[in-house]
Amino acid sequence: MTTLSDNITARPTRPYAPGNAAAPGGSATTAPPLLAVRDVRISDRVADRDIVHGVSFELTPGRTVGIVGESGSGKTLTCRAALGILPPHFEIGAGSIEIDGTDTATLTAADWTALRGATISAVFQDPASYLNPSIRVGAQIAEVVRVKKGLGRREARHRAVELLHAVHLREPELVYGQYTHELSGGMLQRVLIATAIAADPRILIADEATTALDVTVQAEILDLLADLRERAGLALVVVSHDLAVVSQLCDEVLVMRQGHVVERGPTRTVLHEPRHEYTRLLIAEHEQYGLDKFLAKEDA
């Protein structure tokens, strides 16, 4: 069976060379950033206050940036800004976001609709709330393929089954015909990932995508994301409050607190030699959850 990865790698994309991708922080690189977030400030117009006070990062194909920090620190708003889906009374007050070289400030609503799914996509926590309970999950994926890729019904169905296979769901034909209430949390998260990658995006934002899952399923989903990144050159933004998740997946990490990036750098450096007191606190809090294990693995 043809897998998603086969299909994605077969299409002409910018070259992805794991060894020569940009060093975190953006030094020597051949690939221009797919996503460039430059000193973005996000404000709440109703409350008349700034919520995010200047976030910057660049993401090239095959690379992963992690955003960690306490609840309410602005991680999700930053992602929503990159997806063009800020809540109604929020706005980007300063800075810029470029997706594949295009300043998103110039995009119309129709441009955004075309871009989302096809270039930048996202997976959030609580997959059930993003899927329609009364439509078979496979049909929901097929619909994305039909609308975004312009395939006919039969091809879209075939592609949806391929995608279910690509996210390592066993018996994808069977899963295709199931409803959300028939699937476990881990299966639903895989279905949501399949939906998110259905139109072959180049950037995938995973915002607390594994938070609600038990440890084993979480590890499987993280492996799946890493696999998609390696095989398809996906660029990933991983938002998590869990440093173990970040240490496993991310090349670079931003630590946010109260809307500020208090520390950023290569993941290993930040986690091994934290400079900011808040990062040290986060690390201390996480030690009991097995962060040591991942750090040891990276050192090996």
Ligand X SMILES: Nc1ncnc2c1ncn2[C@@H]1O[C@H](COP(=O)(O)OP(=O)(O)OP(=O)(O)O)[C@@H](O)[C@H]1O
Rounded CA gap, 189 and 120, in Å?
18
Of 22-30, 75-83, 190-198, 222-230, the window that binds ligand X (rule: CB under 6 A) is 75-83
Closest to ligand X by CB, 75 vs 202, is: 75
E-state strands within the chain = 35-44, 49-59, 64-69, 90-99, 102-103, 120-124, 203-207, 235-239, 252-257, 260-266
Number of residues that bind ligand X (CB under 6 A): 11
Secondary structure of 196-219 in HEC code, one letter for each residue: HCCCCCCEEEEECCCCCCCHHHHH
Rounded CA gap, 291 and 204, in Å?
24
Q: Is 71 in the site for ligand X (CB under 6 A)?
A: yes
Q: How far is the CB of 242 from ligand X (least distance, A)?
A: 10
Contact map string, positions 241 to 260, toward ligand X, x by CB under 6 A = x-------------------
Of 6-14, 74-82, 93-101, 129-137, the window that binds ligand X (rule: CB under 6 A) is 74-82
Q: Is 87 in the site for ligand X (CB under 6 A)?
A: yes
Rounded CA gap, 168 and 248, in Å?
20
- Sorted by sequence, the CB contacts under 8 Å of residue 291 that are 6+ apart come out as 243, 244, 247, 271, 283
Please tell me the total number of residues recorded for the chain in this structure. Answer: 300
3 state SS of 292:
helix
Q: How far is the CB of 101 from ligand X (least distance, A)?
A: 26
Q: Is 75 in the site for ligand X (CB under 6 A)?
A: yes
Q: Is 72 in the site for ligand X (CB under 6 A)?
A: yes
- Spatial contact of 254 and 40, defined as CB atoms under 8 Å apart: no
Q: Is 66 in the site for ligand X (CB under 6 A)?
A: no
Contact map string, positions 204 to 243, toward ligand X, x by CB under 6 A = -------------------------------------x--
Closest to ligand X by CB, 35 vs 51, is: 51
Of 71-79, 94-102, 126-134, 225-233, the window that binds ligand X (rule: CB under 6 A) is 71-79
Q: Is 76 in the site for ligand X (CB under 6 A)?
A: yes
The alpha carbon dihedral of 211, 212, 215, 220 has a sign of negative
Q: How far is the CB of 125 from ligand X (least distance, A)?
A: 8
Interface positions with ligand X (CB under 6 A): 51, 69, 71-77, 87, 241
